[in-house]
Structure 1
Amino acid sequence: MLEIRWHSRAGQGAVTGAKGLADVISGTGKNVQAFAFYGSAKRGAAMTAYNRIDDIDILNHEKFMNPDYVLVIDPGLTFITNICEYEKPSTKYIITTHLDKEELLEKKQDLKGKEVYVLDCIKISQETLGKPIPNAPMLGAFIKISKALELDFFLESFKKVLSKKLSQSVIDKNMEAIKRAYNEVK
């Protein structure tokens, strides 16, 4: 089973990102879960979202997991929450930050020796969408690092998911953000 934990602030799109990822992956025949845990329901409050992906039925419905991937879409949460909680030795971290990887590892010592990838999802979303909603760029980075799906397949499938709620111009901007993040994650 593949387990993913998202660290975000309410309003940054982690729940939408987790649900969108689940929608796309469920189209491949896999079983999926997407759910969230909110402390406070206020915009800006720290929260987590989760995905589980498996070829067989997923019977575990608890929020507890040992994530294969930790996706941090709010840079500040890297330093004020325990993003390494319940990690596996093989957990991969994809972190939104304006810092390069070496600077981040110097400031966040408990990530040293772990598989860490960085990109600035906030900047990408500001420049492509015009607002700081970093979920789409994080999905692009996740697709690149996880190799869970081919980029073109993900983009076409995600367009269908987005078309239920968004205009074509917003969908196009999201596609641009995903592609850019896919190419910029290091």
Structure 2
Amino acid sequence: MLEIRWHSRAGQGAVTGAKGLGDVIANTGKEVQAFAFYGSAKRGAAMTAYNRIDDQPIINHEKHMVPDYVLVIDPALALSADITAHEKNTTRYIVTTHLSKEALIKQVPKLAGKQVFTVDCMKISMETIGRAIPNTPMLGALMKVSGMFDVEYFKNAMLKVLSKFPQAVIDANMAAIDRAYNEVK
């Protein structure tokens, strides 16, 4: 089973990102879960979202997991939340930040020796979408780091997820996915 934990603040799109990823994966015939845990329902409150992916039916419905990937959408949460909780030796971290990987690890020593990737999803979302909603850039970075799907396949699958939005919003999200895919380090 593949497990993904998202660290975000309410309103940054982690739940929507987890559900969007879930929709894409469900269309491949795999079993998938996408759910969230809110400490507070207020915009800006720290929260986590989760994905589980497997070829077999998923009977575990608990929030506790040992993640293969940890996606940190809000860079401040890398400093204030325990993003390394319940990790595996192979857990990969994708952190939104303008810092280099080395500078991030200096500020978050728990990440030393781990597989850490950085990308500035906030900047990408502001420059492509026009708002600080970094979920689709994070999905682009996840596609690059995980190799889960070819980026073109993933973008085509995301078109269905985003179909309720105007074409300009869809195009902006596609550009955000591409940029994060290409800029993740």
TM-score, normalisation: structure 2 = 0.99
Look up the SS of the partner of 1:47 in the other structure.
Answer: strand
Q: How does 1:37-76 map to 2 (within 5 A)?
A: 37-76=37-76
Q: Shift of the alpha carbon at 1:84?
A: 0.3
Off by >3 Å, runs of 4+ in structure 1: none
1:61-84 C-alpha deviation (Å, 9 max, x unpaired): 000000000000000000000000
Count of aligned positions = 185
Identity value in percent = 66
What one-letter code is carried by the residue in structure 2 that aligns with 1:62?
A: E
1:175 aligned to 2:174?
A: yes
Inter-partner Cα distance in structure 1 for 2:90 and 2:13: 26
Structure 2 gap segments, 5+ residues each = none
> 1:108 and 1:33 mapped to 2: Cα distance?
30
Note the aligned Cα RMSD (angstroms): 0.4
CA distance in 1, matches of 2:23, 2:8: 20
Name the CA distance, whole Å, in 2 between partners of 1:33 and 1:160. 18
Give the counterpart letter for 2:166 in structure 1. Answer: S
What pairs with 1:1-186 in structure 2 (closer than 5 Å)?
1-163=1-163, 165-186=164-185
Unaligned runs of 5+ in 1: none
Structure 1 letter corresponding to 2:128? T
TM-score when normalising by structure 1 = 0.99
- Inter-partner Cα distance in structure 2 for 1:149 and 1:71: 17
Amino acid in structure 1 at the alignment position of 2:74: D
Cα separation, 1, equivalents of 2:27 and 2:145: 20
Shift of 1:161: 1.0
Q: Using the alignment, how far apart are the partners of 2:168 and 2:69 within structure 1?
A: 30
Question: What CA deviation, in whole Å up to 9, does each residue of 1:145-184 have, x standing for no partner?
Answer: 0001111110001011110x21111000000000000000
